[in-house]
């Protein structure tokens, strides 16, 4: 059997789905002075790295192997994070395609020495592509929403995917049009 035939067979095999709870995770980190920006609050890039780390762990768990960040959508910083905050980054798979998945992330912060409830300080949506040892895309299991909230997140993720694809197509069409008109940009 050829490699192409083997790949075609693997693409048509049914992969059992996984429930969202199987890969959901929380990463917690206490913020220190080394995490601050010039304003004395935690640098947005530090939060973004934690978001990517948690989302990557979820994507790898769900897909059963390596997954790479393909895009980050809608990173929203809702409140500043301060030195001494205990930050919790909660991530879960919201939607899966053939080789990609959207991971939703909520960022919460609480004072390390107080017993007040955490406050949501950020959120993001990331798209990961599952890859094999050669860096080639590989199939991912379908995600199985378990709650009404999971089902809503899954539907919203499908809307975001449609918007990403529409935006990409429009940009590529514009670039092709400009190239045909002789613009080299």
β-strand partners of 110: 86
Q: Do 47 and 110 meet the contact criterion of CB atoms below 8 Å apart?
A: no
Which residues in the chain come in under a pLDDT of 50? 1-2, 5-8
Alpha-carbon distance of 119 to 110, in angstroms, equals: 6
pTM of the model: 0.87
Contacts with 129 (C-beta within 8 Å, 6 or more apart), sequence order: 67, 68, 70, 99, 100, 137
- Mapped onto helix, strand or coil, the DSSP state of residue 101 is strand
Predicted pLDDT of residue 10? 54
Report the alpha-carbon angle 148-150-153, nearest 5: 110
Predicted pLDDT of residue 5? 47
Contacts with 161 (C-beta within 8 Å, 6 or more apart), sequence order: 95, 97, 102
Predicted pLDDT of residue 3? 52
- DSSP annotation of 21: G
b/e per residue 126-142 (b: at least 16 CB within 10 A): bbbbbbeeeeeebbbbb
Predicted pLDDT of residue 73? 85
Predicted pLDDT of residue 158? 96
Q: Which of 122, 109, 110 is nearest to 52 (CA)?
A: 122
């Amino acid at each position: 059997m050829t490699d192409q035939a083997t790949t075609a067979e693997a693409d048509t095999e049914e992969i059992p789905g996984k429930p969202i709870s199987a890969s959901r995770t929380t990463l917690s980190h206490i913020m220190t002075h080394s995490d601050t920006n010039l304003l004395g609050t935690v640098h947005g890039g530090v939060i973004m790295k934690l978001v990517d780390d948690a989302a990557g762990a979820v994507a790898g768990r769900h897909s059963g192997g390596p997954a790479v960040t393909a895009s980050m959508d809608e990173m929203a910083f809702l409140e500043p994070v301060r030195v001494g905050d205990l930050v919790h980054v909660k991530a879960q798979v919201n939607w899966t395609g053939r080789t990609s998945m959207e991971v939703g992330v909520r960022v919460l912060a609480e004072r390390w020495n107080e017993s007040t409830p955490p406050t949501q300080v950020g959120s993001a949506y990331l798209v990961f592509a599952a890859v094999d040892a050669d860096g080639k895309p590989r199939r991912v299991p379908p995600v199985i929403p378990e709650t009404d909230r999971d089902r809503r997140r899954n539907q919203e993720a499908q809307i975001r995917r449609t918007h990403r694809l529409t935006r990409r197509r429009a940009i590529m069409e514009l670039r092709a049009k400009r190239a045909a008109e002789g613009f080299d940009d």
